[in-house]
Amino acid sequence: DKGTYEHYMLKEVDEQPAVMRRLVQEYTNEKGELVVDEAITSRIQKADRIYIVACGTSWHAGLVGKQLIEKVAEIPVEVHVASEFAYNMPLISKNPFFIFISQSGETADSRQVLVRVNELGYESMTMTNVPGSTLSREANHTMLLHAGPEIAVASTKAYTAQIATLAILAKATGMVKGTAVAKEFNLVKELSLVATGMERLVGEKEHISDLVKANLETTRNAFYIGRGMDYFVSMEAALKLKEISYIQAEGFAAGELKHGTIALIEEGTPVIGIITDEVMGSHTRGNLKEVESRGAATVVVSMEGFEKEGDHIVLPHVHELLTPLVSVVPIQLIAYYASLHRGLDVDKPRNLAKSVTVE
Ligand code: F6R
């Protein structure tokens, strides 16, 4: 039920603060500590390598998950696109653990890999929004995303729920392993700051709608750039914009533009920079200057603490490992308004289905 909303997508964007709070509740014990099924953490902490397999937006969440698990739980992680993994299986380590990330739990590309992983006898977990889904039933373990039904084709609250759930897994596994980073990472507090920050951002709809009118209303293409976490969010930002506004968009590692793609920059080409880290951000600002001098219309999304005068959207400051949870919110809204202002079907874009059950 859309309630008073015109579109499911906007409702689902707005639900994200509540989803963050619900996840903390669902994964907290009576002592207020974050906990994950011990069968999962005790198995994962022994893995010599974790393989994350997913598609689309869920794959983008996996890229963030790699940073979280490597930094907090100190286990090496590889992230793979399911449809590639199926036919070009990488060398598998001696003691692997597989994590399938899938909102629907029904994606055929991911299932194809899970079937193979089961044949090979490797242990796995599915992180999904749908209890009892195919991927959940066929993996050894499940972690639920608790995001509530996601109806809009463009995934929003599932992406942030996936990242938060990966953070919870990283923290819980790190605690079992006893890593110093895990002990210092007060995730309950940090996720509550994220929820508050998201609330502020979803309140900036009018401002974002105006930004879209000024920069993306008629353009044929657009670029998102960033480094580190901001690069991963840039890829998600581009996918979101493509699928519902039909603007050809690309997410780039900011430093890579000058190695070729900068040739595409013309007078007025929108380039949106995402900056949530001081050092990497200063380099991204340099890259924005480069494209600006070639005519690009630049938009800067920066985090409090690292913002500069004239930046267009300022994000509330959150923990450095959780920045995608807030930086993604305005980019979801940018995609929404780009689609809306172009008079397109926001919730049901052409050629797409909510769950992709063909390979
Ligand atoms: C994009 C989107 C898709 C899905 C992908 C995987 O907004 O929704 O890219 O993320 O099809 O779907 P799940 O997560 O259900 O496996």
Each residue of 222-277: pLDDT tens digit?
Answer: 999 999 999 999 999 999 999 999 999 999 999 999 999 999 999 999 999 999 99
- pLDDT tens per residue, range 128-162: 999 999 999 999 999 999 999 999 999 999 999 99
Whole-number pLDDT of residue 191 = 98
Average pLDDT over residues 95-104: 98
> Residue 316 class from Cβ within 10 Å (0-12 exposed, 13-18 middle, 19+ buried)?
middle
**Model confidence band, residue 175 (pLDDT cutoffs 50, 70, 90):** very high
Give the distance (Å) from ligand 1 centre to CA of residue 304: 30
Ligand 1 binding pocket mutation candidate from 13, 55, 129 (most atoms within 8 A of CB) = 55
Q: Nearest 5°: CA angle at 326, between 340 and 244?
A: 25
Average pLDDT over residues 179-203: 98
Q: What is the mean pLDDT of the chain?
A: 96
Which residue puts its alpha carbon closest to atom 8 of ligand 1?
A: 155
Nearest atom in ligand 1 to the alpha carbon of residue 159 is: 10
Give the distance (Å) from ligand 1 centre to CA of residue 55: 6
Nearest atom in ligand 1 to the alpha carbon of residue 153 is: 8
Which residue puts its alpha carbon closest to atom 9 of ligand 1?
A: 56
Cα 337 from Cα 343, distance rounded (Å): 10
Which residue puts its alpha carbon closest to atom 3 of ligand 1?
A: 56
Give the distance (Å) from ligand 1 centre to CA of residue 103: 7
Question: Sheet containing 141-144: which strands, arranged edge to edge?
Answer: 77-81, 49-54, 96-102, 123-128, 141-144
Nearest atom in ligand 1 to the alpha carbon of residue 354 is: 8
Residues having CB within 6 Å of any atom of ligand 1: 55-58, 102-104, 107, 110, 154-155, 239, 243, 355-356
Q: Nearest 5°: CA angle at 85, between 81 and 256?
A: 45
Nearest atom in ligand 1 to the alpha carbon of residue 158 is: 14
Whole-number pLDDT of residue 356 = 83
Upper half-sphere CA count for residue 101 (Cβ side, 13 Å): 32
Cα 128 from Cα 144, distance rounded (Å): 5
* DSSP code per residue over 158-201: HHHHHHHHHHHHHHHHHHHHT-HHHHH--HHHHHHHHHHHHHHH
Q: Nearest 5°: CA angle at 12, between 320 and 195?
A: 35
Ligand 1 binding pocket mutation candidate from 356, 357, 358, 359 (most atoms within 8 A of CB) = 356
Give the distance (Å) from ligand 1 centre to CA of residue 176: 31
pLDDT of 350 above 90? no
Give the distance (Å) from ligand 1 centre to CA of residue 211: 27
Average pLDDT over residues 170-192: 97
Cα 136 from Cα 132, distance rounded (Å): 6
Share of residues in the chain with pLDDT > 90 (%): 94
Average pLDDT over residues 174-198: 97
Q: Which of the residues are catalytic? A: 354
Give the distance (Å) from ligand 1 centre to CA of residue 54: 8
Which residue puts its alpha carbon closest to atom 5 of ligand 1?
A: 56
Average pLDDT over residues 42-50: 96
pTM, 2 dp: 0.98
Give the distance (Å) from ligand 1 centre to CA of residue 156: 10
Nearest atom in ligand 1 to the alpha carbon of residue 110 is: 16
Whole-number pLDDT of residue 168 = 98
Q: If you ran DSSP here, which 8-state letter would residue 69 be given?
A: I
Whole-number pLDDT of residue 29 = 94
Whole-number pLDDT of residue 248 = 97
**Core vs surface per residue 176-191: b (16+ CB within 10 A) or e:** bbebeebeebebbebb
Which residue puts its alpha carbon closest to atom 13 of ligand 1?
A: 102
Ligand 1 binding pocket mutation candidate from 155, 156, 359 (most atoms within 8 A of CB) = 155
